């Protein structure tokens, strides 16, 4: 019985850790000279090299990646974290994009923040 309870507890703990996705707090999209820049603020309880937010990306309405901003190290003491990506060429008729964030344990957060392009 104890073995069963411990196994269940281990599974629940592993699932909770995997579901600890990084989240998007805000996005600012600006256009200059026909190219777009995105400033994205994300939040994640980075724990060091074993679990940290490592990227965010711009996707189209089908989820296809347009551009990616890699985060190459943990930001344990810098939360929330804001980073920009510029020089993105988008079609003139594109009315919105999605922003999606990733961490090293949970992978890509299934929630995509939709951002209108004005």
Q: How many domains does the chain have?
A: 1
Phi, psi dihedral angles at 104 (to 5 degrees): -70, -15
pLDDT attached to residue 71: 92
Place of tokens 């074993």: 50
Residue 59's closest CA among 50, 68, 51? 68
- pLDDT digits over 46-74, tens only? 788 988 888 999 999 999 999 999 998 87
> Where residue 109 sits, what CATH number does that domain have?
2.60.40.10
| Higher-confidence position of 88 and 18 | 88
Helix (H) or strand (E) holding 16: helix 2-18
- List Cα–Cα distances, 58 to 2, 19, 45, 73, 76, in angstroms: 47, 21, 22, 20, 24
pTM for the model stands at 0.80
Q: Which domain holds residue 66?
A: 2-116
pLDDT attached to residue 5: 38
């Amino acid at each position: 019985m104890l073995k069963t309870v411990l196994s269940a507890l281990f599974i629940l703990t592993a699932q909770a850790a995997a579901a600890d996705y990084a989240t998007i707090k805000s996005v600012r999209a600006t256009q200059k000279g026909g190219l777009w820049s995105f400033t994205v603020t994300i939040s994640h309880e980075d724990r060091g090299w074993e679990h940290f937010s490592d990227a965010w990306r711009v996707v189209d309405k089908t989820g296809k990646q347009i551009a990616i901003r890699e985060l190459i190290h943990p930001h344990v003491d810098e939360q929330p974290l804001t980073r920009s990506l510029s020089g993105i060429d988008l079609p003139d008729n594109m009315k919105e994009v999605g922003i999606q964030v990733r961490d090293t344990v949970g992978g890509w957060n299934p929630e995509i923040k939709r951002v209108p392009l004005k």
